[in-house]
Amino acid sequence: MLSVEGLETRYGSVTAVRGLALEVSEGEIVGVLGPNGAGKTTTLLTVMGLLKPSAGRVRFLGREITALSHERVVAAGIGLVPEGRWILNEMTVRENLLMGAYLRRDGDRALRQDLDRLFEIFPILRPRQGQRAGTLSGGEQQMLAIARTLMGRPRLLMLDEPSWGLAPLLVEEIMRVLRHLNEQGTTVLLVEQNARQALGVVRRCYVVELGRVVFSGTPTELRQHSLLTKAYLGGAGRG
Ligand SMILES: Nc1ncnc2c1ncn2[C@@H]1O[C@H](COP(=O)(O)OP(=O)(O)OP(=O)(O)O)[C@@H](O)[C@H]1O
Ligand SMILES: [Mg+2]
């Protein structure tokens, strides 16, 4: 479904991603792990058409999307739940959700149906529809950020550290939601520093260091990899 090959992205003289490659098949739930500054966010922003790569290519559903604008990438069916959530605090929960549908042209009725479907997945949001988003708790804001991206009806949902700053029980809730969405047919690419919980839901994962993939395999294979296990499951870092 998604295929990234030889990707290189720079910020001026800093090469943040150097020759990164990864694949996601339709229906999968795949993890990307790696320490601070590894290039995870840069990779997602490049896939989304928000940063221009200096080399490499990105294909989605058999079509080259490397040079497409952000709007076109979203229209092609990829949605990103960004690092840090980017909730619009002054707007209501409902307005935030509708922002996620800004490229859709299928009418109010379809939007209302999707809002209803999302309130079933995220029941805490329904009674808070008219509330300012800034008044929500961190966990509720993360749910809102995911729901907002889902309003764009992505076929591939990419999430950038959704567990950041959340208590373990809320992280579990987020992982449960991701598993549910995946079972309902959404393909998921999950970027996490919080390896332990991410490895509980993903079927396959990549470890990225210094802008490259240094491991690719199943969570079981990763756990057998003693050096990486020490780095990612030994309690180091903020996860
Ligand atoms: N706007 C920017 N300008 C210059 N350098 C940047 C910028 N954003 C990121 N970088 C650098 O690019 C590299 C990769 O950063 P990136 O944010 O992609 O890493 P990350 O894996 O998402 O890290 P984290 O886990 O902290 O979110 C780092 O060396 C970082 O300092
Ligand atoms: Mg990041």
Q: What is the pLDDT of residues 191-237, one digit of tens each?
A: 998 788 889 999 999 999 999 999 999 999 988 876 676 666 654 44
Higher pLDDT, 102 or 12: 12
| 34 CB near ligand 1 (under 6 Å) | yes
| 110 CB near ligand 1 (under 6 Å) | no
Q: Give the ligand with the smallest distance to the CA of 33.
A: 1
pTM of the model: 0.94
**CA quadruple 4, 74, 135, 118: dihedral positive or negative?**
negative
Q: What is the pLDDT of residues 56-93, one digit of tens each?
A: 999 999 999 998 999 999 999 999 999 998 999 999 99
- Over residues 11-28, the mean pLDDT reads 97
Measured by CA distance, the residue closest to atom 16 of ligand 1 is 39
Q: How far is CA 140 from the centre of its chain?
A: 17
> According to the 3-state scheme, what is the secondary structure of the chain?
CEEEEEEEEEECCEEEEEEEEEEECCCCEEEEECCCCCCHHHHHHHHCCCCCCCEEEEEECCEECCCCCHHHHHHHCEEEECCCCCCCCCCEHHHHHHHCCCCCCCHHHHHHHHHHHHHHHCHHHHHHCCCEHHHCCHHHHHHHHHHHHHCCCCCEEEEECCCCCCCHHHHHHHHHHHHHHHHCCCEEEEEECCHHHHHHHCCEEEEEECCEEEEEECHHHHHHCHHHHHHHHCCCCCC
| 39 CB near ligand 1 (under 6 Å) | yes
Burial level of 26, CB count in 10 A (0-12/13-18/19+)? Answer: exposed
Give the Cα separation of 137 and 160 in Å (integer).
19
pLDDT of residue 226: 67
| 108 CB near ligand 1 (under 6 Å) | no
- Over residues 31-40, the mean pLDDT reads 94
| 193 CB near ligand 1 (under 6 Å) | yes
Q: What is the pLDDT of residues 139-188, one digit of tens each?
A: 999 999 999 999 999 999 999 999 998 988 999 999 999 999 999 999 99
What domains are defined for the chain? 2-233 (3.40.50.300)
In ligand 1, the atom with minimum distance to the C-alpha of 41 is 22
pLDDT at 8 over 90: yes
Query: How much distance in Å is there from the Cα of 203 to the middle of ligand 1?
Result: 26
Give the Cα separation of 175 and 163 in Å (integer).
9
Q: Give the ligand with the smallest distance to the CA of 208.
A: 1
In ligand 1, the atom with minimum distance to the C-alpha of 43 is 18
